[in-house]
A and B are shown apart, each in its own frame.
Chain A
Amino acid sequence: MRAMTIAAATAALFVSACGGKSSDDQAGGNAAEAGATITGAGSTFVYPVLSAWASDYANSSGTKVNYQSIGSGGGISQVKAGTVDFGASDQPLDSAELAASNLAQFPIVIGGIVPVINLTGIEPGKLRLTGPVLADIFAGKVKNWNDPAIVTINPGVKLPSAPIAVVHRSDGSGTTFNFSHYLSQVSPAWKAGPGEGKTVSWPTGVGGKGNEGVAAYVKQLPNSIGYVEYAYVLQNGMSYASLQNAAGNFVMPSAETFSNAAATADWANASDFNLVMTNARGPNAYPITASVFILLPTNAKDPSRSKAALEFFRYVLASGQDQAKKLDYVPLPPELVKQIEAYTGSKVK
């Protein structure tokens, strides 16, 4: 018995020490018990909140969660290869791909992507933009701030006669995926041109590395526009534009409007939650709302490990939402949580 515990402890240590490499050793059998370690990899966007959850969960249950923010692409390939217990991706997989690699998928937290601007004298949210105009700006078709396309939707706002400096991400990212996905939905020209993806071929502008890079460029370049995750808007005190949503209303980014988008997105008809909820229909829904998806193996070599991971996410959905709010993420609406619980109950065994 004593030898068993030592072996398990050593194995757990080994697992936590070398991260991604884990699985079918002695630790597996005890994964569901206290003192075990589950490993995950993927999205960098979810990393701050996931590590906060992990530390809370370790305190309450004794199970350690070791998460490596190596990027969504890496997370997907590692969970497919079975080297980690769960993956996290900014971009959902379709049902066929999930079935082929025996994965279950569900959203875990919501974030919003905000067009940030640097225009002197214009307060946050005072500049209004529609989806097509935003697409034309990033396509380099609307080149000046006093272009009629912008002026007509902004009566009473003093816009400078200055060229627009466009800032985009230079690294591949889920933020760019969601942003370009939105632009593709509202602008046929964008869909035909750059299209959607984690990196697209930007027709104009400079590229900043990471959200912090884009935020830094926008803060430094007068008359610039970029896009960052909502948390960076708050942390950097940046100015931003309000956006017209699918219902025709101009909405500001906020926890409430993100949550509204998640609630009015058509989850019920999306198999395996394969839904990017940009351009949601709700009257008060923020149009560029995004979510991070968790990928769990449905037929892991060691089912107790995926069960342990599922336990962790059940805990997160039930009691991790306050922590998410503190870190400027947005919790999932309760109806969606219920759907996720029903889904995971049937999928992960």
Chain B
Amino acid sequence: MTAYVPIVKSRSAAADRAFNLVTAGAAWLVLILLGATAASMAWGGRLAFEKFGLGFITSMNWDAVGGDFGALVPIYGTIVTSIIALVIAVPVSLGIALFLTDIAPRWIRGPIGIAVELLAAIPSIIYGMWGLFVFAPFMALHIDPWLSDTLGTLPVIGAVFTGPPIGIGMLTAGIVLGIMVIPFIAAVARDVFNAVPPPLKESAVALGSTRWEVLSRVTLPYARSAIIGAVFLGLGRALGETMAVTFVLGNAHDLSISLLMPSNSIAAAIANEFTEADSELYRSALIALAFLLFVVTFIVLSAAKLLLMRINRAHGRTH
């Protein structure tokens, strides 16, 4: 017996070391891959960056014939559609998650939960086709004219909701993206809400809180950091989505304040134009776009982390 134990110890120590190496390797591999991806995209886009410099980010031109490229329109379109997506998806997802954890009768939680997760399994091309053949005509017939006639007539914000009722544009793309993002946020949010310790909620109820007060004062604050994480996971998905957006965004290199107008996004522009990009500069400009998407995503995620740290510091919590 006594001779046996140390052998086990040394073996488990070796196994531990091996395990550490493997996990550390996996973690470093991601970092290395990420660095290599960024570097190779920056290298591929060097022609465009050299030729246009900072103007590449601030120019609205995109002229393959004249060889003049600027990324402002795709960057704008990417960010605007993603913001619309979040504005729609965040409240809906939180509503779904709260309903599933705290409000719904037990028998309905399973079916709705599975339905939400299945939303994530639908290929984006299907969302795109649905958006083009079903949703865009609906927007053109009902939503767009209504928006133009009501919100469009208001001062200041009117400009955001005026335009031809074509059903294709940033608003439609944003809504489709929102639907695509919902399962990502809702699934995480549901799990987090389930993880809120029941005694906390029960105490609140014992103190006389209403259901709303329990949600807003206990559940949401407890799950705050995880929820923000889920939102930014969804945002990452929205920023990079290609196929669905290509179908309903209109793919026009126009910068418009109106959400009803067509625009372009970084991923859609690359998917549309890469196959027939026949000059070096053109291809380089598209790769430079990819690099910018990388940068935009990085900035957004860093901002999320900073926000999270701030909130946690303000509330004196660390996880």
Contacts and interface: CB of A to CB of B under 8 A. Distances in A.
* A71, A201, A216: residue with the most chain B Cβ atoms closer than 10 Å: A201
B64 A197 contact: yes
B62 interface: yes
Interface stretch (B34-42, B149-157, B249-257): B249-257
Contacts of B132: 213, 216, 220
Interface in B234-255: 246-247, 250-253
Interface stretch (B12-20, B98-106, B162-170, B291-299): B162-170
B251 A71 contact: no
B10 interface: no
B133 A216 contact: yes
A199 B273 contact: yes
Interface residues of B, number: 29
A76 B278 CA distance: 9
A74 B268 CA distance: 20
* B62, B64, B164: residue with the most chain A Cβ atoms closer than 10 Å: B64
B178 interface: no
Nearest to A163: B164
23 contacts: A71-B276, A170-B273, A171-B276, A172-B272, A172-B273, A172-B275, A194-B63, A194-B65, A195-B66, A197-B65, A198-B276, A200-B65, A201-B61, A201-B63, A201-B64, A201-B65, A201-B66, A206-B262, A207-B250, A207-B272, A209-B247, A213-B247, A216-B132
B136 A220 contact: yes
A73 B283 CA distance: 11
Interface string A42-78: 0000000000000000000000000000111110100
Given A74-B275, A207-B252, 16 more contacts: A76-B278, A170-B268, A171-B272, A171-B276, A194-B63, A194-B65, A197-B64, A200-B63, A201-B64, A206-B252, A206-B262, A207-B262, A207-B272, A220-B167, A221-B167, A221-B168
A contact residues, range? 20 to 34
Contacts of A71: 275-276
Q: Determine chain B's interface SS by DSSP, over half rule.
A: loop
Interface in A154-170: 163, 165, 170
Contacts of A272: none
Contacts, number: 89
* A76, A173, A196, A208: residue with the most chain B Cβ atoms closer than 10 Å: A208
Given A163-B164, A220-B167, A221-B166, A209 B63 contact: no
Contact of A165 (B133, B164, B247, B277): B164
Contacts of A240: none
Nearest to A196: B65
B114 to A, nearest CB: 32
Contacts of B251: 170, 206-209
A-B CB proximity, top 5 nearest: A172-B276, A170-B251, A207-B251, A201-B63, A71-B275
A202 interface: yes
A171 to B, nearest CB: 4
Given A73-B278, A209-B246, A220-B136, A202 B252 contact: yes
A179 interface: no
B158 interface: no
Interface string B32-68: 0000000000000000000000000000011111100
Given A207-B252, A213-B247, A170 B63 contact: no
